[in-house]
Amino acid sequence: MTESLRRSGEYENPYQGDQQHAQHASSPVNPEWPPPPAYQPQQSEQPEPVTVPVTVAAPPAPPKKRTRGPLALLAAVAIVAAAVGGGTAYGIQELTGSDTVTSSSTSTSVVPSSKKGDIAAIASAVSPSIVEISAASNAGESTGSGVIITGDGEIVTNNHVVSGASSIKVTTSDGKEYTARVVGTDSAKDLALIKLENASGLKTATLGNSADVNVGDTVVAIGSPEGLTGTVTSGIVSALDRDVTVSTDESQGQRQQQQGGGWPFEFGGQQFNGDTGLSTTTYKALQTDASLNPGNSGGALIDMNGNIIGINSAMYSAASSSSDAGSVGLGFAIPVDTVKSDLAKLRAGSQS
């Protein structure tokens, strides 16, 4: 009983004086009891839980499968096309085939930006893509020009340059000669597509956008007048959408070429370079005062970015013979947009 009270007092009042503490210490204690603590144990405060934000890394996305084949190429080109503009749309269509035609809007520069408008730089950049064409037929021989549009030797020229030809020889700007064959013709637009044999790695021209051409724009013409390969002249666009009528009669045109040195055509109700005959066709053309002479037919009309905007097709010469022929500042070119829209038909082998 005494021990029970003693221990109760110890727990109830642990802060008594030293004397009482000493008395308790001298009192007998059951050895099985644990010694009393010197003071009341305090309740330990539990620390408040701290919330630590944990960032769980998202599992890595599975690698995307690489799309292969022409669809991937079209997707990549479509992005570029959206950034560049409408002039590249034709390039997208042609990229699905084995032959690639370089096409761009007039905002794309073939020459360095620092050389934009520099005629010498334009001539240097584009001349390797312009060729001289010599066509032989029963009526004789004729000389014209052409524009390389694929590295393996597709060339756009005028129909009247190769019409009725039994053999075609092509000379590139570096003097190399090739044999060519006619792939397709369109006499209604005075266009033809020929293909070189065993050609590769040729420098191609860039087809621009003739819809962006304005009257007064400076232009460069490159061709082979009178067999003078790579002749460069310059001028401006004098007018747009001129109605030019040319002969579709092979023999008629070739006879006039032999006599007067130029392909006959009609403009403004007048006939030039002889009689066009009864079989004719009319197309819309760009008019230019850049010097064009016999042999420039099928050559390139080029803007200040170095893009092809037209295929030279008709020029007026007041002379009665080719030896006296000379430019009088009245030349016409088929808009390059017409060429682009007709190319699939020509490639398909049209002989219209």
Known active-site residue 297: yes
Are the C-beta atoms of 211 and 240 separated by less than 8 Å?
Answer: no
Q: How many angstroms separate the Cα of 105 from the Cα of each of 45, 79, 306? A: 78, 15, 11
As a dihedral over the C-alpha atoms of residue 311, residue 315, residue 320, residue 321, rounded to 10 degrees, the angle is -30
Q: What is the token pair recorded at 208?
A: 């621009």
User: Could you give the CA distance from residue 162 to residue 143 in angstroms, rounded to a whole number?
Assistant: 9
User: Could you give the CA distance from residue 177 to residue 180 in angstroms, rounded to a whole number?
Assistant: 10
Known active-site residue 279: no
Strand partners, 284: 243
User: Could you give the CA distance from residue 263 to residue 128 in angstroms, rounded to a whole number?
Assistant: 25
Strand intervals (E) in the chain: 130-137, 140-148, 154-157, 167-171, 177-186, 191-196, 218-223, 231-247, 265-267, 270-272, 280-288, 300-302, 308-317, 327-335
* CA angle 91–97–101, rounded 5-degree value: 35
Are the C-beta atoms of 334 and 147 separated by less than 8 Å?
Answer: no
Q: Nearest Cα to 306, choosing from 133, 112, 146, 151? A: 112
Catalytic residue among 186, 190, 289, 303: 190
Catalytic residue among 103, 105, 145, 160: 160
Catalytic residue among 210, 238, 297, 313: 297
User: Could you give the CA distance from residue 307 to residue 81 in angstroms, rounded to a whole number?
Assistant: 17
Known active-site residue 342: no
Strand partners, 145: 132
Q: What is the token pair recorded at 114?
A: 């620092």
Q: How many angstroms separate the Cα of 189 from the Cα of each of 138, 216, 268, 281, 314? A: 24, 25, 18, 7, 12
Catalytic residues: 160, 190, 297
